[in-house]
Amino acid sequence: MRENGFPRLKQLRSEIKLSQKEFASSIGLNLSTYNNYETGTREPNSDFWIAISRKYDVSIDYLLGLSSEKSPTPMRELEPDEYELLTDYRQMNESGKEAARNSIRGLTTIPDYKKSAQSKFLEKNA
């Protein structure tokens, strides 16, 4: 039992505007199990932390209060708008993800939306 629970777990859930029931469902748990984890009544196992880390792109160290870095290392390389898009994408069901992929593929075929060779060179050598 953990006296103060896991405050960053609750903070993450609040930031993405999900109820405990919705958050629990998103990672395959029932509400009472998740509530026990968030409040510190029960200690979650490693599979729980891994599921949240992968689903919501947040480091386990951050969730446990061991680091102030919220994002796992690979996410730090993304621009803020890229991070936001990826976060939104990961909250979609499979139908939504397929629609998003199809939309992006369609946009990449429009010449006005493609980067020029010069801008790619400048970006690579910046």
CB-based contact 60:50 (threshold 8 Å): yes
Q: Give one DSSP letter per residue of 14-36, joined into a string.
A: HHTT--HHHHHHHTT--HHHHHH
In the chain, count of helices (H) and strands (E)? 8, 0
Instruction: Indicate whether this model's pTM tops 0.75.
Output: no
Q: Is 52 exposed, middle or buried (0-12, 13-18, 19+ CB in 10 A)?
A: buried
What is the chain's pLDDT, residue by residue, as a tens digit (126 residues)?
677 889 999 999 999 999 999 999 999 999 999 999 999 999 999 999 999 998 998 999 999 989 888 876 565 577 888 888 888 998 999 999 999 999 999 998 998 888 875 555 556 555
Half-sphere exposure of 86 (CA within 13 A, CB side): 16
